Amino acid sequence: MSSIDFSVPLATLLRTSTYEAHELVAKSPGAMAMLSGRLRREEYVRYLIVLWHIYDAFEQALDRHATHPVLEPTYNPTLLARTPALASDISFLLQVEEFSWKTHPVYLQFLESKPKELVAYVDRIRELSDSADPAPLLAHSYVRYLGDLSGGQTIRRTLGKAYGLDEEVGQGLSFYAFKELRSAKLANQGEMKRIKDWFREGMNTAGERGVEVKAAVLNEANTAFALNTALFKVIDTNTDSDTEVVEPSKETPIIVEQSASLPLKERSFPVSQVISLVIAVCLAHFILVTTGFSGEKGLNSLLDVGRWFATLTEPFTRPE
């Protein structure tokens, strides 16, 4: 690690130093099958059950160490906890009451042959939780939560189309839905960006505790990505003719963030989105002209338009 610049903020350090690990996850056959909507519905349910076991162990560990100085800045179970959402999605997809999914034959069969990759993942989380220094758990928060907040939104749209799930209602897709940072309303794209910014600030605060913390979290982040990559390898990618295949996104949504030091990929946007942006620019110009640019009124108008315009342009500027 001698060539790594530990003087940079922790969030930046993780983004730039785990890029290759990101790519390995994104390009795994299991991830690609999910991104194209080619997973059989029952295999997707099995994957959600795998995730439930991981988040159940992980979020119990975070609860246990909620006041730890490295973990506390990003600890917000009301905002981030995914275990209840996973239970809700599994129940909906199995068409059973939420309290009874663990008695379903699919789950009981899963327990009989639990993947060794899942066992290794959960064992690692529990090992950290029981250790004298649970600080590296922050790396798992980074890999899991920022991935859910970023790429998870693309996966949500893909799965909704592939399995005929209503994104507006959200049943079967609640794992990918987050509430706003300071309210119980569902977060839109702009609010998701604010949540990610808040999370990065919390990581940077944790990183201020010293190089040792940064090194430990970075090392564990690569371990977490390796464990996550192994999980995707256990997914059965055999396709189902009843599942609608969705064209894979040109984004790489499994990746949490892309390093600013690496070349950006070309991106394309729907014509409707571009037209909406052009209309927004024209409307913003009209509002400013008709309300005036000078005085307090003009300043307030300019600020209002700026905030509104930022929410419209966020899809064009968010990190891949």
CA distance 217 to 136: 5
Under 8 Å between Cβ of 298 and 292: yes
Q: Over the stretch 245-300, which tens digit does the pLDDT of each residue have?
A: 444 444 434 434 544 334 434 444 454 554 454 455 444 444 444 455 445 555 45
Under 8 Å between Cβ of 142 and 203: yes
Out of 18-27, 119-128, 130-139, 300-309, pick the least confident: 300-309
pLDDT band at 18 (very low <50, low <70, confident <90, very high): very high
pLDDT band at 150 (very low <50, low <70, confident <90, very high): confident
What is the residue type of 318?
Answer: R
Q: What is the DSSP string of 72-128?
A: GGG--HHHH--HHHHHHHHHHHHTS-GGGGGGSHHHHHHHHT--HHHHHHHHHHHHH
Closest CA to 23 of 256, 248, 255: 255
pLDDT band at 30 (very low <50, low <70, confident <90, very high): confident
Residue 83's contacts (CB-CB under 8 Å, 6 or more residues apart) are 52, 55, 56, 59
In this structure, how many other beta carbons lie within 10 angstroms of the beta carbon of residue 278?
Answer: 9
In this structure, how many other beta carbons lie within 10 angstroms of the beta carbon of residue 214?
Answer: 24
Q: Supply the pTM of this predicted model.
A: 0.76
SS3 179: strand
pLDDT of 241 strictly over 60: no
The phi and psi torsions of 179 (rounded to 5 degrees) equal -85, 165
In this structure, how many other beta carbons lie within 10 angstroms of the beta carbon of residue 69?
Answer: 13
Mean pLDDT to the nearest integer, 106-113:
96
Out of 14-28, 105-119, 135-149, 266-280, pick the least confident: 266-280
pLDDT band at 152 (very low <50, low <70, confident <90, very high): confident
| Cα atoms in the 13 Å half-sphere on the side-chain side of 164 | 6
* Residue 25, both tokens: 């996850």
CA distance 139 to 25: 16
Please state, in angstroms and as integers, the Cα–Cα distance from residue 161 to each residue in 171, 315, 316, following that order. 13, 20, 23
For residue 292, the model assigns a pLDDT of 52
Under 8 Å between Cβ of 280 and 312: yes
Q: Over the stretch 181-240, which tens digit does the pLDDT of each residue have?
A: 999 899 988 999 999 999 999 999 999 999 999 999 999 999 999 999 999 988 988 865
Please state, in angstroms and as integers, the Cα–Cα distance from residue 71 to each residue in 126, 136, 199, 209, following that order. 15, 9, 11, 11
The phi and psi torsions of 186 (rounded to 5 degrees) equal -65, 140
For residue 58, the model assigns a pLDDT of 97
* Cα angle for residues 179, 185, 191 (degrees, 5° grid): 60
